[in-house]
Amino acid sequence: MRAPPSDRIFGPGRRCEVDGGRAGQRRNPSSIWWHATLRDSLAQCTDAGHADFVAHALLAAVRADLIAHLVTVEHLSVDEIRTRLAAYVHSVLPDHAGT
């Protein structure tokens, strides 16, 4: 028997925070604007059908709390974070994107 979708995505017995957690950021006008702007830009240079998801994934990679964790806990320099983020973006977008 297959586990419920929430268990397959978040782990056994865990649930996504919908109210008051990270979902609150998606209701923030600034976050909505950034997502729409990035999504629309991505749709011009990559598969428009995936632009919405890719925009969410790329924005998640630069969340302030994640950056703080990488600096304070993982001890990465800002330059190393920038280098790794650039590599991530290049792995997500096709070679011809932005040309």
6-17 pLDDT, tens per residue? 454 445 555 444
**Residue 81 corresponds to which tokens in the numbers above?**
């974070």
Q: Is residue 99 part of a domain?
A: no
Q: Is residue 61 situated within a structural domain?
A: yes
Q: Is residue 2 part of a domain?
A: no
Domain-located, residue 5: no
Compute the average pLDDT of residues 45-63.
88
Residue 50 within a domain: yes
Asked whether residue 10 is assigned to any structural domain, the reply reads no
pLDDT higher than 50, residue 3: yes
In a domain, 8, yes or no: no
Question: What mean pLDDT value characterizes the chain?
Answer: 77
- Specify the pTM: 0.60
Domain, as residue range, for 87: 18-92
Q: How many structural domains are present in the chain? A: 1
